[in-house]
């Protein structure tokens, strides 16, 4: 089916997320929609899928104008979507998820689960999936969950299939398999829209590429275009993907982790017997696909995980079972992975957020009372130093953009006397300008002799920052390799395969 978007405009308040976007996807082609985080790709697809109503413009399928007032209409018209955050009910089975909203019934009332199971099996067979219709979605690995999403779309006879950032949670192998599925679908006549910001994937699978930036179409490209060409189209200027840094001035061993195991609430060993050490003046980057224990590892380092075995020592101090407060007192700075959830109090002002982890005593609290003058002075200084673009220090942090909010977190953590910095996904959801700034500050911290642990799922970031790289897979360390290790080797390690010669 041919899909055409004409002049789609979508505004959120004063923000124009989509500005007169035109896009044509022919039947049986894979059309890549390439753009940076926040460029407006997902908004556009949500408009296409009926989740948002466009302010202007129209959607055509096989040259017929469509009116979608909700996802139900879009699905009925033959549009299916594989969402970035899977739209599956965790406590339902695969069959229940696939049938939801499109239920086969007996007598119009009772669910016909057998029909749903048969449908799941039939589609699985067609594409060579191995999916048990009676498995609970919650208990399936992410790769399989994604297939359930695909089955769900196909069970509704989707002829236009949108994949929204589908590879973010996949290992390189799973990504390859997904690309294979996309080609298979294309050959069967399905039109595919593939949304991503990863250049390599685009070049591998796309038939055509449309690049959008700041809500506007900025150009089309062919799959033969080079990485640099695509990147500069996407970002709007030549981007520098590397960070200038001098060779590390290594000091003593500072952080020593031995046999660290973290158990989650249902008894899974989410971090399994991990050992490593970080020296003063060194950046250790922890690479891996999202959800392989990195989050839990960093949380264990700062005392946020309740069930921990093994040992964590910092400059000789045993910190394995220490409270968060004690670890902060030891001089550990922490940039959490999800700053809105764990790093900032959105309703607090910038100033209040800057004192968040120092609410117990000096310099901001004396005799149980907040020293408002001291705090304001400090906040103004930090806002200037970290170039936080804001109306003032009394602005609520939830009003700030991702990059500026992250600068507030960084300003808070770097303004203490540090003996270790742990930064998880320090540039996730952050604009390009801020990324450069944040990377620079992290490298400066390392140059001042502080050991740094950076966790990132973006290989670019890992390679840019790391002096050494530790790769994790399924809670275990696959290997610790030099910062100069080639990407393809890292990619394989992220899939759990250990290259010969790399020391574990």
Partner 1 sequence: MTTVTEHHQVSPQPDALATTVVTSWKAPIAFAVFTLAALALAVFAPREGDTTYRLNASDKDAIIIANISVPAMPALWVVVVLLLLATAFSVWLVTQKRRVPLWLIVVFAIVFLFGFLTWAGAGAMLPMINLLYGSLSLAVPLIFGALTGVIGERVGVINIGIEGQLLAGAFTSAVTASVVMSSTGSMGLALLAGVIGAMIAGALVGMVLAAFAIKYFVDQVIVGVVLNVLVTGLTSFFFSQVLAPNAAVLNSPPRFPRLPIPFLSEIPIIGPVLFRQTLIVYLMYLAVIVVFIGLFKTRWGLRLRAVGEHPQAADTVGINVNRTRFWNVALAGTIAGLGGTFFTIGSGIAFNKEMTAGAGFIALAAVIFGGWDPIRATLAALLFGFASNLQNTLSVIGSPVPSEFMLMLPYLVTIIAVAGLVGKVRGPAAAGKPYIKS
Partner 2 sequence: MSEPQPKTSTTPRDTTTVPAQAPEPSRWHQTFQKITTGNALISVLSVLLALVVGAIMIAFTDEDVQKAAGYFFARPGDTFAAIWQSVSGAYSALFQGSIYNFRRDSFAAGIKPLTETLTFATPLIAGGLGVGLAFRVGMFNIGGRGQMLIAASVAGWLAFGFELPWGLHMLVALVGGLLGGALWGGIAGLLKAKTGAHEVIVTIMLNFVAFYLVSWLLRTPGLLQAPGSSNPKTPPMKDTAIFWNLKEYGYNLHLGFVIVVAATVLVWWILSRSSLGFRFRAVGENPNAARVAGINVPSIYVYAMLISGALLGLAGVNQVLGTVTTGFTAGIDAGVGFDAITVALLGRSTPWGIFAAGLLFGAFKAGGYSMQAAEGVPVDIVLVVQSLIVLFIAAPPLVRTIFRLPDPSRGPKRPRPIVTKEVTAK
Give me the residues that bind partner 2 (CB under 8 A), please: 12-15, 17, 37-43, 46, 51-52, 84-85, 165, 168, 214, 264-265, 299, 302, 304-306, 323-325, 327-328, 334, 336, 341-348, 352, 355-357, 359-361, 365, 368-370, 372, 389-391, 398-404, 428-429, 431, 433-434
Phi first, then psi: give them for residue 364, nearest 5 degrees. Answer: -90, -15
Q: What length does the chain have? A: 504
- Minimum distance between the CB of residue 130 and partner 2, rounded to whole angstroms? 29
d(CA 429, CA 412): 19
CB of 475 to partner 2, least distance (A): 16
Report whether 280 contacts 450 (CB < 8 A): yes
CA-atom Rg of the chain in angstroms? 25
Asked if 492 is part of the footprint of partner 1 (rule: CB under 8 A), the reply reads: yes
Q: Residue 70 Cβ, how far from partner 1 at the closest point, in Å?
A: 6
β 476-482/308-314 pair status: unpaired
Structure tokens at 71: 């996802």
The entry of partner 2, partner 1, none near residue 250 (CB within 5 to 8 angstroms by kind) is none
Q: How far apart are CA 171 and CA 155, in angstroms?
A: 26
Dihedral sign computed on CA atoms, order 213, 218, 221, 225: negative
Q: Does 12 bind partner 1 (CB under 8 A)?
A: yes
95 binds partner 1 (CB under 8 A): no
Q: What is the Cα–Cα distance from 199 to 231, expressed in whole angstroms?
A: 7
Task: Find the Cα–Cα–Cα–Cα dihedral 144, 146, 152, 158, rounded to 10°.
Answer: -130
- Residue 118 has φ and ψ, to the nearest 5°, of -60, -40
- Which residue lies nearer to partner 1 by CB, 141 or 392? 141
| Strands, E assignment, 83-128 | 105-106, 110-111
Cβ 112 to partner 2 shortest distance, Å: 30
Q: How far is the CB of 38 from partner 2 (least distance, A)?
A: 6
CA distance 256 to 297: 13
Residue 340 lies near partner 1 (rule: CB under 8 A): no
Q: Is 433 in the site for partner 1 (CB under 8 A)?
A: no
Residues 273, 473: contact at Cβ < 8 Å? Answer: no
CB 432 to partner 1: min, Å:
26
Q: Considering beta carbons, is residue 364 or 473 the nearer one to partner 2?
A: 364
Which CB atom, from 4 or from 165, has the smaller least distance to partner 2? 165
Distance from C-alpha of 219 to C-alpha of 210, rounded to nearest angstrom: 6
Residue 103 near partner 1 by CB under 8 A: yes
Among 30, 61, 75, 480, binds partner 1 (CB under 8 A): 75
- Which stretch in 177-185, 346-354, 449-457, 481-489 sits in contact with partner 1 by CB under 8 A? 481-489
Q: Residue 205 or residue 332: which is nearer to partner 2 going by CB?
A: 332
**β-pair partners for 65:** 60
Please check whether residue 340 is in contact with residue 346, taking contact to mean a CB–CB distance below 8 angstroms: yes
In the complex, the smallest distance separating the C-beta of residue 381 from partner 2, rounded to whole angstroms, is 18
- Contacts to partner 1 from residues 105-134, by CB under 8 A: 105, 108-111
Residue 78 binds to partner 1 (criterion: CB under 8 A)? no
On whether the CB atoms of residues 97 and 89 are closer than 8 A, the answer is yes
Q: Which residue ranges make up the site for partner 1 (CB under 8 A)?
A: 12, 49, 51-52, 70-73, 75-76, 81, 83, 86-92, 96, 99-103, 105, 108-111, 141, 144, 152, 172, 176, 263, 265-270, 272, 307, 473-476, 478, 486, 488-489, 491-492, 496-500
């Amino acid at each position: 089916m041919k899909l055409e978007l004409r002049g789609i405009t979508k505004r959120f308040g004063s923000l124009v997320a989509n500005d007169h976007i035109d896009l044509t996807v022919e039947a049986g082609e894979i059309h890549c929609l390439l753009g940076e985080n926040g460029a407006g790709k997902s908004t556009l697809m949500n408009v296409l899928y009926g989740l948002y109503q466009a302010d202007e413009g129209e959607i055509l399928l096989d040259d017929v104008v469509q009116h979608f007032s909700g996802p139900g209409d879009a699905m009925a018209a033959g549009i299916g979507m594989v969402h970035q955050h899977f739209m599956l009910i965790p406590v339902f089975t695969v069959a229940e998820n696939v049938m939801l909203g499109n239920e086969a019934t007996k007598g119009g009332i009772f669910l016909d689960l057998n029909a749903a199971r048969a449908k799941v099996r039939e589609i699985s067979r067609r594409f060579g999936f191995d999916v048990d219709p009676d498995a609970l979605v919650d208990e399936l690995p992410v790769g399989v969950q994604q297939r359930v999403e695909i089955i769900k779309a196909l069970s509704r006879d989707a002829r236009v299939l949108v994949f929204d950032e589908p590879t973010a949670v996949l290992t390189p192998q799973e990504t390859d398999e997904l690309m294979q599925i996309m080609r298979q679908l294309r050959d069967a006549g399905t039109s595919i829209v593939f949304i991503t910001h990863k250049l390599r994937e685009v070049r591998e699978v796309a038939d055509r590429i449309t690049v959008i930036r700041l809500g506007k179409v900025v150009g089309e490209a062919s799959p033969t275009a080079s990485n640099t060409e695509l990147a500069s189209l996407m970002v709007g200027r030549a981007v520098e993907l590397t960070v200038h840094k001098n060779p590390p001035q290594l000091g003593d061993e500072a952080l020593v982790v031995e046999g660290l195991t973290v158990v989650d609430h249902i008894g899974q060993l989410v971090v399994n017997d991990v050992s490593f050490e970080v020296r003063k003046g060194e950046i250790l980057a922890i690479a891996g696909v999202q959800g392989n224990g990195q989050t839990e590892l960093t949380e264990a380092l700062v005392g946020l995980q309740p069930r921990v075995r093994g040992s964590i020592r910092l400059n000789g101090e045993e910190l394995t079972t220490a409270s968060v407060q004690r670890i902060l007192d030891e001089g550990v700075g922490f940039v959490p992975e999800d700053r809105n959830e764990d790093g900032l109090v959105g309703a607090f002002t910038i100033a209040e957020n800057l004192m968040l982890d120092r609410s117990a005593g000096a310099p901001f609290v004396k005799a149980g009372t907040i020293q408002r003058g001291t705090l304001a002075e400090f906040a103004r200084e930090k806002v200037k130093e970290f170039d936080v673009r804001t109306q003032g220090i009394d602005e609520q942090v939830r009003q700030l953009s991702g990059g500026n909010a992250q600068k507030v977190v960084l300003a808070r953590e770097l303004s203490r006397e540090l003996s270790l910095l742990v930064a998880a996904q320090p540039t996730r959801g952050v604009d390009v300008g801020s990324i450069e700034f944040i990377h620079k500050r992290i490298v400066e911290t390392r140059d001042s002799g502080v050991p740094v642990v950076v966790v990132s799922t973006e290989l670019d970031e890992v390679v840019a920052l790391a002096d050494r790289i530790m790769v994790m897979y399924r809670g275990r360390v696959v290997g610790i390799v030099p910062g100069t290790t080639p990407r393809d080797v890292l990619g394989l390690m992220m899939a759990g395969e250990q290259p010969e010669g790399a020391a574990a």
